[in-house]
Amino acid sequence: MARVKRGTRGNARRRRVLKLASGYYGTRNRLYRTAVETVDRALAYAFRDRKVKKRQFRKLWITRLNAAARLHGMSYSVLISKLKAANVKLDRRVLSELAISDPNGFKAVVDSVAAAA
């Protein structure tokens, strides 16, 4: 009988895990068992932090908007409520970018909202 070599799927699985672990420190990138533990943990953190990133950016935009609105004599909550009342469809990301890159444009938005409400 001919000799049959086996294990191509297992080898591929181990190769895939070790490829994901490349760049890790010490035996974490060489030994399969420690690489599996580290890669599983890293993928769990990556999944979680894709959601956390959205929260952190929203907090940053709100902080920037609050600071920029207070320069124009208005708090963040008042600014947002007046924007909604005036039916302005700019989101927090766009408004905070406008406040940083174009302060005069942001002042125009604030003044138009303050006059409308």
* Domain contains 27: yes
* Domain contains 2: no
Quick check: 38 and 28 in contact, CB under 8 A?
yes
Distance CA 105, CA 69 (A): 13
Q: What is the pTM of this model?
A: 0.80
* Domain contains 68: yes
* Domain contains 65: yes
- For residue 5, the model assigns a pLDDT of 82
Q: Positive or negative CA dihedral for 10, 16, 21, 26?
A: positive
* Domain contains 1: no
pLDDT higher than 80, residue 117: no
pLDDT band at 17 (very low <50, low <70, confident <90, very high): very high
Distance CA 24, CA 113 (A): 52
Structure-block tokens of residue 53: 């990133």
Q: pLDDT tens across 33-51, in order?
A: 999 999 999 999 999 999 9
* Domain contains 3: no
Give the count of beta carbons closer than 10 Å to the beta carbon of residue 38. Answer: 19
CATH number at residue 28: 1.10.1900.20
The domain containing residue 84 runs over which residues? 8-116
pLDDT higher than 80, residue 100: yes
DSSP structural state of residue 87: T
Q: Domain total for the chain? A: 1
Following DSSP, what letter does each residue of 20-34 receive, concatenated?
Answer: HTTT-SGGGGT-HHH
* Domain contains 98: yes
